[in-house]
A and B are shown apart, each in its own frame.
Chain A
Amino acid sequence: MNGWLFIIACVAVLTWVAVCLAYDKRPRFLRPITFVTILCIWLAALWTLIRRFTEGLGAVSGMNDAAPWGLWIGADVFAGVALAAGGFVIAATVHIFRIERFKPILRPTILTAFLGYMLVAVALFIDIGRPLSWWHPLVMWQHHSIMFEVTWCVILYSTVLAIETSPPVLERLGLNKLLRIVQVTTIPVVIAGVILSTMHQSSLGSLYLIVPEKLYPLWYSPLLPVFFLISAVAAGMCVVIVESFFSAKILNHGLESILMRDLGRAAGIILFIYLVMKIADLAARGSLGMVFEGSLQSRLFLLEMVGCVALPAILLSIRKVRLLPRWLLGASLLVMAGIVLNRINVSWFGMSVSDHLHYIPTWMEIALSLAFITGGTVIFLLAVHFLPIFPKTADEPAELHG
């Protein structure tokens, strides 16, 4: 029972922070109540970090030998990487498939992905047991390991994202020669980014291929890498929608509503494909009956598939819903919640034996995770403030909610 209260408290805190960040527009992120909330979180995170690096992971986290990966891996890394998928999707749309009308949202999306990956890298640095050895996979190769692939993908794709994010910075600094070099190499860099992203998104699923008898059958599948990739693409698009919506609100510029509509439609179609594949996969492996067995895992699975995949897929397929920004936003938020739930299900509940949880995250783990989210948001707002991220024309008020 305590566990449930704890989870409800966590969700409440998370919602509170989200509301603070989303609806605190006037003097931006410096409004007192938001400021105090964020300050508390950051101080708690600082405390967590100091203790983690001096006393070890056991002192700050609920992780143990029965549950070696916790919230930082499940929510921050797995979900964080999936939510950053918008970056490669939009980059490919604009630069490879030359659908140039998506260009206005390219820069904010890439920036989001870059910040996301930076936070993932920091989270990994904190989470690994020997942080100062983080570079070992670069020189000590063991290419039979999915983790080796994951490490290389994080490092290489972060580099690619840094290059893709650099134009606004270079423009701002007036380094035109360097800017031209970056522009000339755009297409190869974007292609490399798409390949690395595909590999990385799927490899996070592949990590769990090795535990067929540990991961709950509702989530274990030989197709895990494919599921991780597809769900990340849909979620990445929805992140773009949500992020554009709140940017438009907070920064008082226009919402690219036609683009959002198209993105929503595409995300809906991908969700349908995901749903059908998931059902077919369960049926093929004879696990379809487990969906309704009433265990903790089956309930979470139902919540994930019905509430966060089927429902938004239906919503997004209805034209009238896509035309209303608030409904579009709601459906997108559902998809985002769904991907976080899915990654947590795989890494936490799915790895537990029935309803005996080996692991409950501590408040310190949650504080650090919240610090990542708020920190990322603040850096994003600062970057938008100082760099030419959003197109200038979007300032026209006529476009608002258009």
Chain B
Amino acid sequence: MKKHEHDKDLNTFNRRRFLQGLAGGTGLCVISPEGLKAHQPASAKTPSVLVDITRCIGCRSCMRACKQANDLPVTTDLTADFPGTWDAEELRFDQWTVVNPVTGHNGDGVEVTRNIKSQCMQCLEPTCVSVCPVGAMTKSELGPILYSADRCIGCRYCIMACPFDIPKFEWEGGMWAVIGKCQFCAHTRLAEGRLPACVESCPTGALKFGARDALLFEARARIKTQPDRYVNHIYGESEAGGTAWLYLSDVPFENIGFKSGVETAPMPPLTWEVLSKIPIMASAMAGLFGTVAWSLNRREAAERREASESQEESE
């Protein structure tokens, strides 16, 4: 029945049919909403790392290893011997991981200092990948999120959108500035079956590499066997829909600089909900405005014809 009506419509409204076809066709070429998902399903086997904050001594071996493995410039501070008094370091486009001492209240209100390693969390459903207009951020099949400067236009939407504020920009970069962030050594070491450089360099076992489900199991086991030692929260288990980096701590995470209140639902659907409606909205608008313009135009033409006819008659 509906189809029949539609056909009748098409026979009567030529312009509308043309415009609808045009808009629909363009829409279909650009985007086919069926079968597209803004996010890949979470994978239990994603290569992951469990960080046990209670075991980190703050030696910054991982920072040095990261610099070497990724050919990044080494700052003088990092050549100093441990233990030393180091300045706080920030993530930069050429510094993909940092370890900083952070002081905060533990559960009993006592001030304690913990060494916190930060790097890209490697989200299971990465926001940066979904917001990048050119696909410069991609999620590799293995899981880590890779960055390709060859595609990047430098719009910095990834920096703005990242729920963990991880990607950094080369602000002194002239015409060809790049974004920098940890890529889990995916191209190099992981592909050769070796551990990420930071994990390999850790002398205390604060970093543990493995499949995500195995690490989650291990983390839960540690919490269960030592409930006095750990807070009952695995940071990264559900933050931003789950991340490959998982953290265990004896101090509530929000007290030692971890971002609290990160949505537990994945972020990409927030914009996809709007984007996926564009083809239908654009087609509807084309149809609507096309019909209005066409019918008003026709009426005007008829009026003009009548006017000229009556003028001729009077002459």
Contact = CB atoms under 8 A, between A and B. Distances in A.
Contacts of B42: none
A351 B19 CA distance: 41
A45 interface: no
Contact of A57 (B31, B168, B173, B290): B173
B156 A213 contact: no
A63 B168 CA distance: 12
B294 to A, nearest CB: 8
Interface stretch (B78-86, B132-140, B199-207, B246-254): B132-140
Contacts of A128: 153-156
Interface stretch (B62-70, B110-118, B278-286): B278-286
B293 A95 contact: yes
Interface in A181-219: 187-188, 190-191, 194-195, 198-199, 202, 206-207, 209-214
B153 A137 contact: yes
Most buried by B among A95, A98, A198: A98
A140 B160 contact: no
Contacts of B169: 57, 65, 68, 129
A265 B19 CA distance: 32
Nearest to B160: A68
Given A136-B134, A146-B275, A213-B262, A191 B165 contact: no
A191 B289 contact: yes
B133 A148 contact: yes
Nearest to B138: A142
B103 interface: no
Contacts of A53: 174-175
Nearest to A130: B154
A65 B168 contact: yes
Interface in B75-123: 90-92
B171 A56 contact: yes
A221 B90 CA distance: 32
Interface in B234-261: 261
A187 B301 CA distance: 15
A76 interface: no
A61 to B, nearest CB: 8
Given A206-B274, A210-B271, A133 B153 contact: yes
Interface string A119-136: 000000000111111101
Contacts of A95: 293
B191 interface: no
A211 B160 CA distance: 8
A191 B268 contact: no
Contacts of A129: 152-156, 169-170, 173, 177-179
Given A64-B171, A198-B285, A207 B157 contact: yes
Given A66-B165, A97-B296, A147 B132 contact: yes
Interface string B141-181: 00000000001111111011101010011111111111100
Contacts of A202: 274
A209 B270 contact: yes
Interface in A55-109: 55-59, 63-66, 68-69, 92, 95-98
Contacts of B281: 199
A150 B171 CA distance: 23
B186 interface: no
B127 interface: yes
Contacts of A142: 132-135
A143 B31 contact: yes
Nearest to A137: B133
A187 B132 contact: no
A137 B151 CA distance: 9
A140 B293 CA distance: 35
B300 interface: yes
Interface residues of B, number: 63
Most buried by A among B153, B157, B170, B263: B153
B308 interface: no
B130 interface: yes
B272 interface: yes
A98 B165 contact: no
B131 interface: yes
B267 interface: yes
A191 B19 contact: yes
B297 A187 contact: yes
A141 B168 CA distance: 23
A160 to B, nearest CB: 14
B292 interface: yes
Contact of B282 (A137, A188, A199, A214): A199
Contacts of B1: none
Nearest to B30: A143
Contacts of A137: 133-134, 153
Nearest to B149: A130
Contacts of A166: none
B153 A206 contact: no
A92 B289 contact: yes
Nearest to A65: B168
Contact of A213 (B30, B163, B168, B179): B163
Contacts of B261: 213
A385 B83 CA distance: 73
Nearest to A152: B30
Interface string A147-190: 11111000000000000000000000000000000000001101
A65 B175 CA distance: 18
Interface of B: 19, 23, 30-31, 36, 38, 90-92, 127, 130-135, 151-157, 159-161, 163, 165, 168-179, 261-263, 267-268, 270-272, 274-275, 278, 281-282, 285-286, 289-290, 292-294, 296-297, 300
Query: Which 7 pairs show the lowest CB-CB distances between chains A and B?
Result: A129-B154, A58-B171, A129-B177, A147-B133, A68-B156, A148-B133, A68-B159
20 contacts: A53-B174, A59-B172, A129-B155, A129-B169, A132-B175, A142-B133, A144-B271, A144-B272, A145-B157, A145-B271, A147-B155, A148-B134, A188-B19, A191-B290, A199-B281, A206-B274, A210-B267, A210-B268, A210-B270, A351-B160
